[in-house]
Amino acid sequence: MPVVVVVGAQWGDEGKGKVVDLYAERADMVVRYGGGANAGHTLVIGGQKIVTHLVPSGVLHPRARLVLGDGMVVDPITLLEEIAACRERGLLPDGQLLVSARAHVILPYHRWLEAVREDQKGAIGTTRRGIGPAYESKAARRGVRVCDLGRRGRLRELVEQNLDEISRLIGRAVPAGEVDRLIADAAAAGEALAPMIGDAGREVDRAIAAGQNVLFEGAQGTLLDIDHGTYPFVTSSSTIAGGACTGVGVGPTRIDRVIGISKAYCTRVGGGPFPTEMQGEEAEAWRAAGQEFGATTGRPRRCGWLDAAALRLAVRVNGLDGIALTKLDVARGRGPLKVCVGYRLDGALLDEPPGDAEELARAEPEYMELEGWQGESREARRIDDLPPAARTYISALERLVGVPMWLVSVGAERAETILLRDPFAG
């Protein structure tokens, strides 16, 4: 059966939680492959909102095995709190969640370091969850992994080694008592998580070999990818479909389909170039209509017109088979609608974003305008149920980016969705 990767095709916050929840109904396994608790995935069922940060968005489907892959950075305290919150709702029974022993661990000193950097001039606007510093420790080969939480001597050795350098960077020595508490807390978290820790990559491979439906859930978005995003205003990991292979431990030939998630407009959180950004009252109106506030931080998101040029980049680097378009309902009553089809930069017309953030900041978007619509769309369950102008908008996007729509979300609720193609079909 198919192995499907779901990735964000913009700057994150595209609605991956809802799409993964929908697709997970047919999945035997849902796997997070990168990032950490900086990713907030929102699920709305029966008017109730559930936000997950580390636990995969398939948590509402008890038959699906949930996996945190090798490529993640996991805050063990946050994970335990999230597990407890899920169980208070009757979710996440024993045995459903598997945490990779090879995943790296976020500890308090990673957050301390990120906070110091974010308070300095030129900060990029991170979530202050310690994600970047944890990946730095990993790349420097001194990171603490989940498997180290159960080895008290090894844990102390690694923590003290890291604190020697981080103390200089944060401008204070960490008292011995605080170090002891940090180690004790981490070890206790490791003990609590011990029944869930295992060889995630091996278990995923076995599920694929057994013919199960496996769904890989990305975090953040393509334009925040460490290699292909608007560097340096990016996250610290690979957010594209290829990251599913490296972050879980499966070969690229095992992936059958890749679906990119895009809003019917654009948003961005934090610093960095945003060519199609709206300003003033227009931005405020879209932000209010779309409830564009971060699920993790609560920060207001910057809003802009849909960027088809950026979506072309997402199609290319992810090898997208199709797009799941979300928040179409937010565009109702807001015409005419602009869509960026390319950029003018130094006299040239570009059909994809330039690779340099300074050049992207200078680029002038070239727009086409499409008619808006007034009719309500949240009851639509077929494309033909949508107002004609909404159907035209969708068709125009398909032509501009070169791949078809597989799903159109017309509201926050799970049921408020038009399913066009089944990613797990033969």
Q: Residue 254 corresponds to which amino acid?
A: R
Question: What DSSP string runs through 353-378?
Answer: --SSHHHHHH-EEEEEEE----S--T
Is residue 191's pLDDT more than 80?
A: yes
* The predicted structure's pLDDT at residue 38: 73
Long-range CB contacts for residues 150-159, cutoff 8 Å, separation at least 24? 150/187, 150/190, 150/191, 150/194, 150/197, 152/183, 152/187, 155/183, 155/186, 155/187, 155/190, 156/183, 159/107, 159/109, 159/183, 159/186
Sequence-distant (≥ 6) Cβ neighbours of residue 282 within 8 angstroms? none
User: Region 214-226: what's the mean pLDDT?
Assistant: 95
* 3-class DSSP state of 1: coil
* The predicted structure's pLDDT at residue 117: 80
Question: What DSSP string runs through 210-276?
Answer: TT--EEEE--S-GGG-TTTSSTTSS-SS--STHHHHHHHT--GGG--EEEEEEESSEEE-SSS--TT
The helix (H) or strand (E) run that includes residue 159 is helix 152-170
Going from N- to C-terminal start, the domains of the chain cover 26-100+206-220+232-257, 104-193, 258-419
User: Cα-flanking dihedrals φ and ψ of residue 367, to 5°?
Assistant: -110, 150
- The residue written with tokens 């290699």 in the block is 227
C-alpha distances out from residue 337 to 37, 364, 369, 390, Å: 34, 17, 6, 10
Task: Give the residues across from 307 on adjacent strands.
Answer: 340
Q: How far apart are CA 288 and CA 45, in angstroms?
A: 21
Q: How far apart are CA 424 and CA 426, in angstroms?
A: 6
Rg (Cα) of the chain, in Å, rounded? Answer: 21
Do 104-193 and 258-419 agree at the fold level?
A: no
Q: What is the pLDDT of residues 30-75, one digit of tens each?
A: 999 999 887 666 777 666 677 888 999 899 899 999 999 999 999 9
Q: What's 258-419's CATH class? A: alpha beta
Confidence of residue 254 (pLDDT cuts 50, 70, 90): very high
CB 154 within 8 A of CB 161: no
| CB neighbour class for 119 (10 Å; exposed up to 12, middle 13-18, buried from 19) | exposed
CB 304 within 8 A of CB 282: no
Determine the Cα angle at 325 with ends 323 and 327, to 5°. Answer: 165
Catalytic residue positions, numbered: 13, 41
Is residue 271's pLDDT more than 90?
A: no
Is residue 242's pLDDT more than 90?
A: yes
Structure-token pair, residue 109: 């000193």
Average pLDDT, the chain: 91
User: Region 354-383: what's the mean pLDDT?
Assistant: 92
Q: How far apart are CA 302 and CA 278, in angstroms?
A: 8
Picking from 36, 194, 181, the residue whose alpha carbon sits closest to that of residue 104 is 36
- CATH 3.30.360.10 describes domain 26-100+206-220+232-257: no
Structure-token pair, residue 26: 């047919």
Is residue 80's pLDDT more than 90?
A: yes
Calculate what percentage of the chain has a pLDDT beyond 90: 74
User: Region 139-149: what's the mean pLDDT?
Assistant: 95
The CATH number assigned to the domain with range 104-193 reads: 1.10.300.10
* The predicted structure's pLDDT at residue 298: 76
Distance of CA 209 to the CA centre of its chain: 27
Task: Give the residues across from 213 on adjacent strands.
Answer: none
DSSP 71: T
